[in-house]
Chains A and B, each alone.
Chain A
């Protein structure tokens, strides 16, 4: 399968008054056409920063300090702002966690879709409106002609997210980055929104990066899962493999903390400790070391993600399921 996006050694730092925060360190993964890759990890693990860096939308304090994000031949991290603005919305689209704040509050949703249609979707002044209504119909919004005139505050959370998807899909992008697209929505609405993304991907061969802290949602929707912890990608594997045979101690802990699998509350285990402080220069090679019960003396040595078996890469000196 050809890669739509290949992220290599992406590093990001934030300059704050309290020091430099090394938010991402040599993050790497690929997504193929028609494929869904899930990016999972606890809050603050770097999922959103990864997405914003790829989109060129980091805030001013954030700086890409290394790496590449190849969309075909183009390195998104090196592209000029003008080139990036063309790519954004046309070849790469993003949907955000809180759809209501991501939409323009003072413009009817149909107009917002029509704007994108004209800018990136090849629509003209004359047919953009009709195509926007068509797009609303395609995301399952009843009575789209009337709803096109609605402002975001007049729509429910699920409907706003469908509008966001309609906008994201307007230009038929090659890659969709969905950052917690269903957090805060009901499970029933979540299922509808996720079905919709899957349908669009199936129709157009679009690649999807699904960012979520819900491992069960990732399990259900993604072909592969990349686990992030404190700015590192610690493990990437096919979904079934990762869930059945996690090799990184953190992945195993994350699975053990997920309520879906448990038969009783006593079966659930929290991940001990907290994310390390990512300020300053003395960050341990393995950022999970302080929380890890398999830590050994050599865990302080330089750590590179490597392929433990075909299609299964990890960053750990003493992975699970391997004789020590």
Chain B
């Protein structure tokens, strides 16, 4: 089966400051995303986790083609889309196929747009719909998201957090996309509202055959919603595999610390060592050292002299750590 989305060694670096003429060394760079490879199949939900600043949102912006890659290729439905400059992607044939849902629907929806305007916006811009056809699609999307049509005339501040989240999702699915990229869609919601939004996503996936990339720092939500999970640390994928397997038997020390830090209702936590300190600087990191070295509770000499490769540790389960050698 060919994947819907495929990333091959994708990197994004942001130069700090301008390159000066005649300067001896190139300017320092923030390595936001480094050599990330991943695939998303049709109907699959892939979770993307990792601490703040590890590059999740940058990766998402590369996939949705809001940013250009520095290196690597992105394939969507067998077509290379990384070659299309971000500024032209708005008019690209695949633009309507990849849609995005943002963290705080309240902030990402234009406050002067009614719910109907917000849902209609991508239909107008990307599909050129007008009049009755437009209205029909707006109502279809609202209904699919369980948003009462009577609320379509309201402005964002007149809607509850859960209703705003529904508008954000309705807007994203209105163009009939194949891939939905969700960046912390429930982070601003109460647990109870979160449950309804998660169930809506699950239902839409079953009904419409959508694929999801789901970014979250709530590992419990990822565990419940995702088929596969990708763990990032300082721009690199350090582990990926079936969600169940990664959560039950993590093979990378960072994933282990992450899972151990999640509060449990039972109140007891396994005695995994606490992850202290902050990640290292993403500016020109040492290419010959594990990026977790120095903070890793299991680190040893070799971690400071060689970058561990991402290797298969079990079928479909990859990890990048010298301990697995």
A residues contacting B by CB (< 8 A) are 42-43, 140, 142, 156-159, 185-192, 195, 213-217, 219-221, 239-240, 243, 253-255, 257-262, 264-265, 268-271, 274
Chain A residues, CB < 8 A from B220 = 216, 259-260, 262
Query: Distance in Å from the Cβ of A18 to the closest Cβ of chain B?
Result: 13
Query: Distance in Å from the Cβ of B54 to the closest Cβ of chain A?
Result: 9
B52 CB within 8 Å of chain A: yes
The 9 closest A-B pairs by CB, nearest first: A259-B220, A216-B263, A270-B195, A271-B192, A186-B51, A191-B261, A187-B261, A220-B263, A42-B190
B264 CB within 8 Å of chain A: yes
Are A254 and B192 in contact, CB atoms less than 8 angstroms apart?
Answer: yes
Chain B residues, CB < 8 A from A159 = 278
Are B257 and A188 in contact, CB atoms less than 8 angstroms apart?
Answer: yes
Are B275 and A219 in contact, CB atoms less than 8 angstroms apart?
Answer: no
The listed residue (B190, B192, B266, B275) touching A188 by CB distance below 8 A is B275
Chain B residues, CB < 8 A from A253 = 192
Chain A residues, CB < 8 A from B51 = 186, 188-189
Known: A259-B223, A262-B224, A265-B225. 9 other contacts (CB 8 A): A156-B278, A187-B217, A188-B275, A190-B261, A191-B261, A220-B264, A240-B267, A254-B191, A270-B199
Complex Cα gap A242–B266 (Å): 12
Are B278 and A158 in contact, CB atoms less than 8 angstroms apart?
Answer: yes
Chain A residues, CB < 8 A from B23 = none
Are A259 and B275 in contact, CB atoms less than 8 angstroms apart?
Answer: no
Are B202 and A265 in contact, CB atoms less than 8 angstroms apart?
Answer: yes
Complex Cα gap A158–B193 (Å): 27
The listed residue (B52, B218, B266, B276) touching A259 by CB distance below 8 A is B218
Chain A residues, CB < 8 A from B270 = none
Chain A residues, CB < 8 A from B198 = 265, 268
Are A213 and B190 in contact, CB atoms less than 8 angstroms apart?
Answer: yes
Are A214 and B224 in contact, CB atoms less than 8 angstroms apart?
Answer: no
Complex Cα gap A255–B192 (Å): 10
The listed residue (B160, B199, B261, B277) touching A142 by CB distance below 8 A is B277
Interface of A is mostly: helix
Are B261 and A265 in contact, CB atoms less than 8 angstroms apart?
Answer: no
The listed residue (A186, A191, A270) touching B192 by CB distance below 8 A is A270
Chain A residues, CB < 8 A from B190 = 42-43, 213
Are B275 and A215 in contact, CB atoms less than 8 angstroms apart?
Answer: no
Complex Cα gap A185–B225 (Å): 22
Are A188 and B224 in contact, CB atoms less than 8 angstroms apart?
Answer: no
Beta-carbon contacts under 8 Å, B256-280 to A:
257-258, 261-267, 269, 274-278
Query: Distance in Å from the Cβ of B270 to the closest Cβ of chain A?
Result: 12
Q: Which residue of A lies closest to B195 (CB)?
A: A270
Chain B residues, CB < 8 A from A185 = 52
Q: Which residue of A lies closest to B259 (CB)?
A: A187
B4 CB within 8 Å of chain A: no
Query: Distance in Å from the Cβ of B288 to the closest Cβ of chain A?
Result: 24
Complex Cα gap A253–B192 (Å): 9
Are A219 and B192 in contact, CB atoms less than 8 angstroms apart?
Answer: no
Complex Cα gap A262–B194 (Å): 14
Query: Distance in Å from the Cβ of B188 to the closest Cβ of chain A?
Result: 9
Query: Distance in Å from the Cβ of B255 to the closest Cβ of chain A?
Result: 11
The listed residue (B53, B263, B274) touching A195 by CB distance below 8 A is B274
Query: Distance in Å from the Cβ of A215 to the closest Cβ of chain B?
Result: 7
Are B278 and A260 in contact, CB atoms less than 8 angstroms apart?
Answer: no
Are B195 and A257 in contact, CB atoms less than 8 angstroms apart?
Answer: yes
Greatest chain B CB density within 10 A among A159, A268, A269 is at: A268
20 contacts between A and B (CB under 8 A): A159-B278, A186-B51, A187-B263, A188-B261, A189-B51, A192-B274, A195-B274, A214-B191, A216-B263, A219-B267, A220-B267, A254-B192, A258-B265, A259-B224, A260-B264, A260-B265, A265-B198, A265-B199, A265-B225, A270-B196
Are A219 and B266 in contact, CB atoms less than 8 angstroms apart?
Answer: yes
Are A219 and B265 in contact, CB atoms less than 8 angstroms apart?
Answer: yes
Chain A residues, CB < 8 A from B257 = 188
A274 in contact with B218 given A190-B261, A215-B191, A268-B195 (CB within 8 Å): no
Complex Cα gap A156–B97 (Å): 36
Query: Distance in Å from the Cβ of B190 to the closest Cβ of chain A?
Result: 4
A239 in contact with B195 given A188-B258, A265-B225 (CB within 8 Å): no
Query: Distance in Å from the Cβ of B72 to the closest Cβ of chain A?
Result: 27
B141 CB within 8 Å of chain A: no
Chain B residues, CB < 8 A from A265 = 198-199, 202, 224-225
B145 CB within 8 Å of chain A: no
Complex Cα gap A189–B257 (Å): 11
B215 CB within 8 Å of chain A: no
Beta-carbon contacts under 8 Å, B171-230 to A:
190-196, 198-199, 202, 217-221, 223-225
Are B160 and A186 in contact, CB atoms less than 8 angstroms apart?
Answer: no
Are A213 and B191 in contact, CB atoms less than 8 angstroms apart?
Answer: yes
Are B263 and A42 in contact, CB atoms less than 8 angstroms apart?
Answer: no
Complex Cα gap A140–B277 (Å): 8
Are A269 and B278 in contact, CB atoms less than 8 angstroms apart?
Answer: no
